[in-house]
Each structure stands twice: as C-alpha cells, then as structure tokens.
C-alpha cells in the first residue's frame, strides 16, 4: 500500500481567523505547511474517516496543487469518498451545498475570498463541517492546538487525479468523484426562485450587468443568468476565472468595483448591476442611479422574501427569523419588528449564523461586508442574493430605486459606512482598542451633537442554541436607535493589523431620507474621531478604504 507517513515539524502560526487559515502564498509554500494543517484537521475531526469529504477552491494560484495534496492526504487518512469540483473549482456556497447534497462529513475549501491572488497574493483553507457550515470556534481551536504539536502526516503516494475529467477515479481505497462545479448549485437556485418569471422579465427588456471579477462565479453566472434565465449575451462580464483574478481585487464594494457605481450612474445603466467576490460568497447590488448598502439589501430582501417561491408562507416556508452581525446596520431589525419575527445579533463571521440556521430559527441573515444568504445553505451566497433581487424586480415590476424609496418611507433609513485602517502596526492597533475599551464606562450618558450615548460596551455573544460564549467581539457605542459607532479588529488580514470603524445613523422623517450618505454621516464621523482617536493614535490621515 503506498500510504506513507512523513515526519514533520510543527509551525506555530496556523490559528484560523474569521474565515479559516489565510496567509501569503509564500507561507503556504513552506515545506509541509499545508500538509501539517490538513493533518491537524484529519486528526481532530475523526468523523471524516470512512466518510465523504468535499474538496474545491476559488481557482486562485496554487489551487490545483493544494487540491492534489488534499486528495492524496484524504486517501492516506481513510476517507471513503472525495467529491471534487471539476478543475478544482467550487464557489464557497456551491461547496457548502455539495456537502449537504452528498451528506458529507465535511469539506475543504481552498480560498482567501476576495484577497488578491497570484504568486505574491494570498491563499487560504477553510474547513466546513457536516451540514455545510464553517467549523465553529471550538473546533478551529482544537485544530490549531493539534497543528502546534504535529510530528507526522499521512498521504497516499501512488499517483494523482485528473481534476478535469468528470466521473469516478480511484486512489487506493478512496473513491474520487469529479463533479460538474455548477450543476447542483444551479438546481438549488432553481428550487428557490421563479425562473419563468425572471425569464419573462428579461424578455420584456429587463437588463442586468453581473461582474464575476475574473473569479469563481464566472461559470455559475454564465450558466444561470445567460443559459437558464435568458439574460442577453454580455450581461456577465469578466466571466473567465483567472489564477490571479486578472490582477484585480475581487472584493465587490464601492472601492474595488467603482466601475460598477459609475455604470449605475450612467445614462445607459441596466436595471440591476451586481458583482460577487473571489470565492462567490459576497454580493454587491446597485440599481439605476443608486447603490444599495448590504444592510439595506438584507432589510429589503427580508421585506419581500415571502413573495419568492422558496420562502412563501406555509408549513415549510415563511420567515422564521432574521439575523445580522453586530456591526451590520439595524435596518433588518426594523423589518423583523414589522414582521413580528425574531432578530438575532451575532458576532462577525458567517459561522455564528449556522447554529441558528440548523435549529430552524433563521431564514435570512447578512453582514455589512457584502454577505447575504438564507437557510438554503450554510455559507453566504453571492449569486443567491443577485437572483433574489432579480426575482423581487420581476415579481413587483418595480425598479431598485422605487423599491428603496418605498422601503425607506415605511421603515426609515439607516445611513451606513465602514472605514478600514489597513496594515497598521499591531501595537498601534492594540493601543486604539485598549484605550477605547478603557474609556467606554465613562462615555455612557454623555451627549455628542444631540445624540446621547445609551450603551458603551464590548460585544460578547451567547449562542442561543448551544450556549457557547464568544467574547471580545468588538467595541460598541450606542446612541439609542439614532446612531452607533463600532470598532473592531479584523480577523482576516494577512499583513499587520486592520481596524474597522463602523458608523450608522438612523432617520425616519420624510425630508431626511434622500441625503448623500457621506453628508448624513459627517457629524458622526467627527464624533467618532474625537472618541476613538483613530487618526491621532495611529498617525494616519484617514482610513485606507471606505466602503
Ligand atoms: C471580514 C468581514 C466579515 C466576514 C469575513 C469573511 O472579516 O468583516 O463580515 O465574515 O471577512 O468574509 P474581518 O476581516 O472583519 O474579521
Ligand atoms: Zn468571499
């Protein structure tokens, strides 16, 4: 049997962050670096032995090599069956779905999401568990501990797999099934949305521009939007996945997809303009003449979800509950109140939604970082959000602008912005957080520009399903329903430390609903500057990225 055991030395930096282990490609290229982490997963998650494992990635540089290694190690660790996306390609939501479809014990997703790719870019691994969700913190903690003491790893050393040929292959005792990357995902979307109605909307002249940003969603968008829904040719741009994402930064937001904002503001703008990120879990939504912030998109979809086939009221459908991550604006809370359903506030990171989804308490959830999804899968799902918007446009016959105006008139508007301070020296970032943490108790009751601080604390979360507690999840300064300032350290950066400052302001008077966002938030930004002292303590002149 060509299963062999290799001796190895542990690395000490394999602690997964908000979304798995994410490092520079050069770090992953160190001897045994990838193998060590994979073996730590196989050692800790013993349920994988004798079971099915899903493997795929976002197609970035090093994807195919890493996938061959992962397959060989799966075969060396007694996995019965490995399901792999053709060419090693699986978007994150498609992988999560495949885990569910194949009743797999888990999945290995090779992605660093929207982070730039290529030899000088980033690489990453996410481990998802049975059911399709990201490994919870308790599990990633154990994997990290195992990675620090690892002394050997196992692999099948008897040939490789043809990743491009769909069908079954054998590696030792392990069956390798290469599957079409899109099929199951497309079936799933078809079961949720009214494809006939959307097709008719395109026939009537409805137009979309979807930007796949040379990343993983190209083949998915091509199949679903163009082939299945009949969107005009040319509706999907940058549709070919490239190993370096075309040298771009496939993070669909107002900075890295500014060309889409320009398109939305142009005279010939299509009805819907959208994009997804490197691994297909994020989404950006614009209409003719306006950008819909992720928090608004979540709230507006929540308000219309029961019109969509997969979410109609009935014994199986209907909206059970809504959720957002703590820094996400509270627009969805207002809708939850109107719908009389539960609304949960979770820490940043999709994994915190999964227990609630599994317990059937949640139908729709989202994050300010351009993530939206529903109970149909256990990851955020970029194309799902685009299809949901298409279905809402087709069902209501309204434009994005009309839908937004009606929403704000009824529920009020949450103006929202995020300021990122990237690549800070770790010590400087910690100083900012520590000094604000110290100041929090003294802030309560103080008044700034007509707003009074009602609450100032560090967010911690007790999971309503399993009682697990996550502490240190961001500092928040709350001015009742009127406004919030939030500060947290990013858990996905690969260089230095990134601080995120989130500003939210609520207005519901008819004459205050159409301000430019930057004007609406200018006073709050000044208040935040005085209280958080980000520029003063870091020596920066302002944020590196504003989204
Ligand atoms: C960021 C986002 C967070 C998202 C994560 C993975 O994490 O803020 O909402 O879940 O990427 O896509 P952060 O870098 O803030 O820890
Ligand atoms: Zn992503």
* Residue pLDDT, tens place only, 270-282: 999 999 999 999 9
Q: What is the pLDDT of residue 317?
A: 58
Q: Is 517 in the pocket of ligand 1 (CB under 6 A)?
A: no
Nearest protein CA to atom 4 of ligand 1, as residue: 349
Cβ pair 364, 301 in contact under 8 A: yes
3-181 is classed CATH 3.40.120.10? yes
Say which residue, 491 or 179, is predicted with more confidence.
179
DSSP 8-state class, residue 282: B
Q: What is the pLDDT of residue 314?
A: 57
Q: Estimate to the nearest angstrom the gap between the alpha carbon of 514 and the chain centroid.
A: 29
Name the pLDDT band for 316 (thresholds 50, 70, 90).
very low
DSSP 8-state class, residue 225: I
Question: Would the pLDDT of 362 be above 80?
Answer: yes
Q: What mean pLDDT do residues 130-149 have?
A: 95
Q: What is d(CA 484, CA 16) in angstroms, rounded to the nearest whole number? A: 29
- Provide the percentage of residues in the chain whose pLDDT is more than 70: 99
Cβ pair 189, 220 in contact under 8 A: no
Three-state secondary structure string covering 56-71? EECCCCCHHHHHHHHH
Question: Would the pLDDT of 492 be above 60?
Answer: yes
Cβ pair 58, 110 in contact under 8 A: yes
Element housing 358 (H / E)? helix 351-358
Which CATH superfamily includes the segment(s) 413-546? Alpha-D-phosphohexomutase, C-terminal domain (3.30.310.50)
Pick the atom of ligand 1 nearest to 325's CA: 9
Strands 321-325 and 364-367: parallel
Q: What is d(CA 317, CA 437) in angstroms, rounded to the nearest whole number? A: 43
**Can you say whether residue 519 is alpha, beta or left, with left for phi > 0 and alpha for psi between -120 and 50 degrees?**
alpha
Q: Is 154 in the pocket of ligand 1 (CB under 6 A)?
A: no
Scanning the structure block, which residue is given the tokens 């501990």? 145
Q: Is the dihedral of CA 146, 147, 148, 149 positive or negative?
A: positive
Say which residue, 158 or 397, is predicted with more confidence.
397
Distance from the CA of 439 to the center of ligand 2, in angstroms?
34
Q: What is d(CA 109, CA 55) in angstroms, rounded to the nearest whole number? A: 6
Q: Is the dihedral of CA 206, 407, 311, 91 positive or negative?
A: positive
Q: Considering only the C-alpha atoms of the chain, give the largest distance between any 2 of them, rounded to a whole number of Å.
A: 75
Catalytic residue chosen out of the listed positions 51, 91, 96, 113: 113
Pick the atom of ligand 1 nearest to 18's CA: 16
Query: Over the Cα atoms of the chain, what is R_g?
Result: 23
Cβ pair 161, 171 in contact under 8 A: yes
Partners of 417 in the beta sheet? 503
Q: What mean pLDDT do residues 101-126 have?
A: 96
Name the pLDDT band for 315 (thresholds 50, 70, 90).
very low
Q: What mean pLDDT do residues 471-484 have?
A: 97
Q: What is d(CA 485, CA 525) in angstroms, rounded to the nearest whole number? A: 9
Cβ pair 382, 261 in contact under 8 A: no
Distance from the CA of 112 to the center of ligand 2, in angstroms?
7
Q: What is the pLDDT of residue 263?
A: 98
Mutate-to-test residue for ligand 1 from 19, 353, 354, highest number of ligand atoms within 8 A of CB = 19
Q: Which CATH class is domain 185-411?
A: alpha beta
Partners of 122 in the beta sheet? 24
Cβ pair 302, 339 in contact under 8 A: yes
Q: What is d(CA 453, CA 484) in angstroms, rounded to the nearest whole number? A: 9
Taking the CA atoms of residue 248, residue 253, residue 255 and residue 260 in that order, the dihedral angle to the nearest 10 degrees is 80
Q: What mean pLDDT do residues 321-330 have?
A: 98
Active site residue 113: yes
Q: Is 256 in the pocket of ligand 1 (CB under 6 A)?
A: no
Distance from the CA of 278 to the center of ligand 2, in angstroms?
6
Q: What is the pLDDT of residue 137?
A: 87
Q: What is d(CA 504, CA 327) in angstroms, rounded to the nearest whole number? A: 9
- List the structure tokens of 73: 């190690």
Mutate-to-test residue for ligand 1 from 135, 491, 495, highest number of ligand atoms within 8 A of CB = 491
- List the structure tokens of 478: 């709350």
Scanning the structure block, which residue is given the tokens 């209907």? 318
Q: What is the pLDDT of residue 159?
A: 85
Q: Is 352 in the pocket of ligand 1 (CB under 6 A)?
A: no
Q: What is the pLDDT of residue 493?
A: 77
Distance from the CA of 277 to the center of ligand 2, in angstroms?
6
Q: What mean pLDDT do residues 387-393 have?
A: 98
Query: Which of 79-88, 89-98, 329-338, 491-500 has the lowest average pLDDT?
Result: 491-500
Write out pLDDT tens, residues 3-15. 999 999 999 999 9
- Domain extents in the chain: 3-181, 185-411, 413-546
Q: Is 3-181's fold the same as 185-411's?
A: yes
Q: What is d(CA 471, CA 461) in angstroms, rounded to the nearest whole number? A: 6
Name the pLDDT band for 1 (thresholds 50, 70, 90).
low
């Amino acid at each position: 049997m060509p299963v062999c055991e290799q001796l190895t030395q542990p690395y000490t930096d394999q602690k997964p962050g908000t979304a798995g282990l994410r490092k520079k490609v050069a770090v992953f290229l160190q001897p045994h670096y990838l193998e060590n982490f994979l073996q730590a997963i196989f050692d800790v998650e013993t349920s994988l032995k004798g079971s099915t494992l899903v493997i795929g990635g976002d197609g970035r540089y090093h994807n195919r090599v890493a996938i061959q290694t992962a397959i060989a190690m799966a075969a060396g660790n007694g996995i019965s069956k490995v399901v792999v996306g053709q060419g090693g390609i699986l978007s994150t939501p498609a992988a999560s779905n495949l885990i569910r479809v194949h009743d797999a014990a888990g999945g290995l997703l090779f992605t660093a999401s929207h982070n730039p790719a290529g030899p000088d870019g980033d690489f990453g691994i996410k481990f998802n568990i049975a059911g399709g969700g990201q490994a919870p913190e308790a599990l990633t903690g154990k994997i990290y501990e195992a990675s620090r003491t690892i002394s050997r790893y196992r692999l099948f050393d008897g040939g490789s797999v043809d990743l491009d040929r769909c069908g079954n292959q054998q590696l030792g005792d392990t069956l390798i099934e290469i599957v079409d990357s899109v099929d199951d995902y497309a079936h799933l979307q078809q079961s949720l949305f009214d494809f006939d109605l959307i097709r008719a909307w395109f026939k009537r002249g409805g137009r979309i521009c979807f930007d796949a940003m040379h990343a993983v969603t190209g083949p998915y968008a091509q199949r679903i939007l163009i082939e299945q829904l009949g969107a005009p040719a040319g509706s999907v741009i940058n549709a070919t996945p490239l190993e370096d994402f075309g040298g771009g930064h496939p993070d669909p937001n107002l900075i890295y997809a500014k060309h889409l904002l320009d398109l939305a503001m142009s005279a010939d703008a299509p009805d819907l303009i959208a994009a997804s990120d490197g691994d297909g879990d994020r989404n950006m939504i614009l209409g003719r003449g306006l950008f819909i912030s992720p928090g608004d998109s979540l709230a507006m979809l929540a308000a219309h979800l029961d019109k969509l086939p997969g979410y109609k009221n009935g014994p199986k459908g209907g909206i059970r509950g809504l959720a957002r991550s703590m820094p996400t604006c509270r627009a969805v809370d207002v809708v939850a109140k109107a719908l009389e359903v539960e609304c949960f506030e979770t820490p940043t990171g999709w994994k915190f939604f999964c227990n609630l989804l599994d317990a059937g308490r949640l139908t729709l959830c989202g994050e300010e970082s351009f993530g939206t999804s529903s109970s149909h899968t256990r990851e955020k799902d970029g194309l799902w959000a685009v299809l949901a918007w298409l279905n809402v446009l087709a069902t209501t016959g309204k434009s994005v602008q009309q839908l937004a105006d009606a929403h704000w008139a009824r529920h009020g508007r949450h103006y929202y912005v995020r300021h990122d301070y990237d690549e800070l020296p770790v010590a400087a970032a910690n100083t900012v957080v520590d000094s604000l943490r110290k100041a929090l108790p003294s802030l309560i009751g103080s008044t700034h520009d007509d707003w009074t601080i009602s609450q100032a604390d560090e967010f911690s979360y007790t999971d309503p399903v399993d009682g697990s507690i996550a502490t240190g999840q961001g500092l928040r300064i709350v001015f009742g329903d009127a406004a919030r300032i939030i500060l947290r350290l990013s858990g996905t950066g690969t260089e230095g430390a990134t601080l995120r400052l989130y500003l939210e302001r609520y207005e519901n008077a008819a004459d205050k609903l159409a301000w430019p966002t930057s004007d609406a938030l200018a006073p709050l930004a000044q208040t935040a500057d005085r209280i958080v002292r980000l520029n003063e303590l870091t020596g920066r002149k302002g944020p590196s990225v504003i989204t």
